[in-house]
A and B are shown apart, each in its own frame.
Chain A
Amino acid sequence: MIDKTKKMIKSLFLVEIVKGLSITGKKLFKKPITVQYPEEKTPQSSRFRGLHALRRYPNGEERCIGCKLCEAVCPALAISIDTEMRSDGTRRTKKYDIDLFKCVYCGFCEEACPVDAIVETKIFEFHFEDRNEKVINKNDLLKIGDLYEREELKDRKNLG
Chain B
Amino acid sequence: MKIYINNIEYDANPDETIIQVADRNNIKIPRFCYHKHLSVVASCRMCLVEIEGVKFAQPACSTPIKEDMRISTKSSKTKEAQKSTMEFLLINHPLDCPICDQAGECELQDVSLKHGDDHSKYLEFKRVVVDKDISPLISTEMTRCIHCSRCVRFGEEVAGNKELGLINRGEFTEIRAFIEDGVSSELSGNMIDLCPVGALNNKLYSYKARTWDLKQHPIISPHDCIGSNIFYHVYNNEIVRAIPKENSDINQTWLSDRDRFGYQGIYSKDRCYVSKHRKNKTLERVDSQDIIKKVNNAINSSLDKNTSSKIGSFISAQSTSEEMFLFQNLLRKLGIKNIDHRTNERDFDYQDTYPLMPSLGCNINDLSEYDNIILIGVNIKTEYPILTVRLNESVKQDTKIYSYHYFNMDEDFPVEKKFVMNNTDLLSLFQEHTLESCRNKKNLLVIGPNITYFSNQSVFLQALDKFAKNINSQIGYLTDFCNSTSGWILGNVPHRTIGGVKLDNPGLNATEMLENDLSTLIFYNLDPENDFHNSSALINSLQKSECNIFFTSYLTPIIEKYADYIVPISTYAESDGSFINIEGRFQSFNKVITPNSNVIDGWRALNELNILNNHQAYTIESIRSELSSTLSKIDFTSKILIDKKKYELDKSTKVHKNSLRHIYSTDQIVRRAKSLNETIQANNKSVYVSRDIFDDSENKKILKVVENNRVFKIDNFQIRDDLPSRTIVYSSSFNNKFTESKSTFVSLKK
Contacts and interface: CB of A to CB of B under 8 A. Distances in A.
A68 B210 contact: yes
A91 B210 contact: no
A114 interface: yes
Interface stretch (B201-209, B497-505, B617-625, B680-688): B201-209
B213 interface: yes
Interface in A39-72: 65-69, 72
B99 interface: yes
Interface of B is mostly: loop
A8 interface: no
Nearest to A82: B236
Interface in A69-84: 69, 72, 82-84
A115 interface: yes
B125 interface: no
Contact of B210 (A65, A72, A84): A72
A85 interface: yes
Contacts of B236: 82
Contacts of A84: 207-208
A91 B99 contact: yes
Contacts of A83: 207-209
A85 B103 CA distance: 16
B98 A65 contact: yes
Which of B98, B212, B213 lies at the interface centre, i.e. has the most chain A CB atoms within 10 A of its CB?
Answer: B98
A82 B236 CA distance: 10
Interface in B204-231: 206-210, 212-213
Contacts of B98: 65, 67, 69, 114-115
A135 to B, nearest CB: 17
B213 A68 contact: yes
A67 B212 contact: no
Contacts of B207: 66, 83-85, 91-92
Interface residues of B, number: 12
A94 to B, nearest CB: 10
Contacts of B213: 68
A65 B206 contact: no
B212 A72 contact: yes
Contacts of A68: 210, 213
Interface in B468-516: none
A65 B212 contact: no
Nearest to A92: B207
Contacts of B97: 67
Nearest to B210: A68
A85 B99 contact: no
A65 B236 CA distance: 20
Contacts of B206: 85
A114 B99 CA distance: 10
B208 A65 contact: no
A114 B207 CA distance: 17
Interface in A105-144: 114-115
B109 to A, nearest CB: 13
Contacts of B212: 72
A32 B208 CA distance: 57
B212 to A, nearest CB: 6
A67 B97 CA distance: 8
Interface of A: 65-69, 72, 82-85, 90-92, 114-115
Interface of B: 97-99, 103, 206-210, 212-213, 236
Given A66-B99, A114-B98, 16 more contacts: A65-B98, A65-B99, A66-B207, A67-B97, A67-B98, A67-B99, A68-B213, A69-B98, A72-B210, A83-B207, A84-B207, A84-B208, A85-B206, A90-B99, A91-B207, A115-B98
Which 9 A-B residue pairings sit nearest by Cβ, starting from the closest? A67-B98, A91-B99, A91-B207, A85-B207, A114-B98, A68-B210, A83-B207, A65-B99, A85-B206
